[in-house]
Amino acid sequence: MSDTVKSEVNPIFTAASLVFLLQNEAPAAPLEGGIAHDMSGLMKLMSDIGPIAMGVLIILLIASLYSWTVILSKWASFRRATTASRRFIRTFRKAGRLQEIAAITGDYKDSPLAQVFEDVYETYKRQTGGAGPPRNLVPLERSAQTAASEAITSLERRMTWLATIASVSPFVGLFGTVMGIVDAFLGLGSAGAATLRAVAPGIAEALITTAAGLFVAVPAVVAYNQFSARIRVFAAALDDFSRELLNTMEEFQARPVAQAQPRSLAEAGRELPTRG
């Protein structure tokens, strides 16, 4: 990240130094029109922007739209998963038999914990027909591990796009920055005099593309870090829940077959993060 910041700062520092050296060459423009004047100046600048800078801005706009689409969709999916998992945990704790939970698992399809339970219970039914102690716990452990891995993979879907946009966008903006400075020096050479008017368009393009790159990258970085933290919490909750479920079934095996009844499911692992 420090290399990215340095690569962004160097062209900006060059442009700022050039403006500082030339500011005494140009007369100060009077302030007229306030905000309306500023907006009209910005619109004129956007209309006069070069094709390279415009291409950079279009690429960054597409990246920003896709990034925010991923951010909003992931936020909604994590919120649904958290809510459904909390409800499933309450149901799991109150239930006295595995069959009771299996009958209503479909009501918690957004919960990764319910997905783990469903896969483990399907393996359990293939062994026992849905009643009695399991004959072998190893297949149940494998089912729990596979289901937890699939649930985490589903939560991680499209996260790589956020990471890619977060890391690439500053460099796309940097490309526009460099080309804007090149245009500024070309304008300076064409004018034949060191005036601010000659270099202002190129420097403006450079600063606009730099700001656009940071505007796209910063939300993607923040969202990626937050979502990654929540996925780690989900992974820990899945691990705890899998152990609790397997411990419950292991107690079946330790009892006589005639007395094997599911114990009260009083615990369900670690609490999930608060919604937000």
Q: Which residues have CB under 8 Å from 36's CB, separation 6+? A: none
Q: What is the dihedral of CA 23, 47, 207, 216, to 10 degrees?
A: 160
Q: Does some domain include residue 142?
A: yes
pLDDT reported for residue 135: 78
238 within a domain of the structure (yes/no): yes
pLDDT of residue 140: 86
Give the model's pLDDT for residue 81.
Answer: 94
Q: Is residue 275 part of a domain?
A: no
Residue 236's pLDDT is 94
The answer to whether position 33 is within a domain reads: no
Instruction: Write down the pLDDT at residue 267.
Output: 45
Residue 10: give the domain boundaries.
2-24+53-259
Q: Residue 35's pLDDT is what?
A: 54
- List per-residue pLDDT tens for the chain, 276 residues long: 445 444 444 554 444 454 444 444 444 444 444 555 555 656 666 666 778 888 999 999 999 999 999 999 999 999 999 999 999 988 887 877 788 888 888 888 899 999 999 998 888 888 777 677 777 888 888 999 999 999 999 999 999 999 999 999 999 999 988 888 887 777 666 666 666 666 776 787 888 888 999 999 999 999 999 999 999 999 999 999 988 888 877 775 555 444 444 444 444 444 454 444
Instruction: Report yes or no on 269 lying in a domain.
Output: no
Does residue 265 fall inside a structural domain? no
Give residue 194's pLDDT: 60
Task: Provide the number of structural domains found in the chain.
Answer: 1
Q: Domain for residue 40, yes or no?
A: no
Phi, psi of 195 (to 5 degrees): -120, 155
Q: Is residue 219 part of a domain?
A: yes
**pLDDT (0 to 100) of residue 222:** 96
